[in-house]
């Protein structure tokens, strides 16, 4: 009975960690798309910022949990699109990994017209 209770506790803790990880990746994607959508923003800045938010100094998901997450930024019409793809592994073997694909979009700022 104690063994079952411990297994359920570990499972619940793992699910909570996955929820935190998903939120951290979502935040990185949203912030990166906003930065890339600035008037002077670039695709490289978008991708670098996503990495920095997730894994940089003071990053939200440093360590091995976010190792399999990859970022890609593209321009789609008038929007900067940041995409994160990857997976989270369970803390115990035998269970399939949790795959994720998260997309964040921000409208690119138009140039400001000069006022005569």
Residues 105, 33: Cα–Cα separation, whole Å: 6
Domain positions in the chain: 2-107
What is the pTM (predicted TM-score) of this model?
Answer: 0.87
The CB density around residue 106, as the number of other CB atoms within 10 Å, is: 21
Read off the pLDDT of each residue in 37-44 and give the average, rounded to a whole number.
Answer: 92
Query: Bridge partners of 85?
Result: 70, 101
Q: CB-hemisphere CA count at 13 Å for 48?
A: 6
Structure tokens belonging to residue 19: 């929820």
- Can you give the pLDDT at residue 76? 93
Is it the case that residue 63 has pLDDT exceeding 90? no
- Beta strands 98-107 and 79-88: pairing type? antiparallel
- Can you give the pLDDT at residue 116? 64
Q: CB-hemisphere CA count at 13 Å for 17?
A: 18
Q: Which pLDDT tens digit goes with each residue over 73-87? A: 999 999 999 999 999
């Amino acid at each position: 009975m104690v063994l079952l209770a411990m297994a359920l506790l570990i499972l619940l803790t793992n699910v909570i960690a996955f929820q935190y990880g998903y939120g951290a990746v979502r935040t990185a994607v949203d912030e990166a798309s906003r930065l890339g959508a600035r008037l002077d923003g670039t695709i490289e800045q978008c991708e670098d910022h996503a990495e920095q938010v997730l894994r940089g100094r003071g990053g939200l998901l440093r360590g091995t949990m976010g190792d399999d997450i990859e970022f890609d930024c593209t321009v789609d019409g008038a929007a900067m699109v940041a995409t994160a793809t990857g997976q989270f592994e369970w803390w115990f073997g035998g269970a399939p990994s949790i795959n994720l694909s998260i997309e964040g979009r921000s409208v690119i700022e138009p140039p400001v017209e000069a006022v005569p």
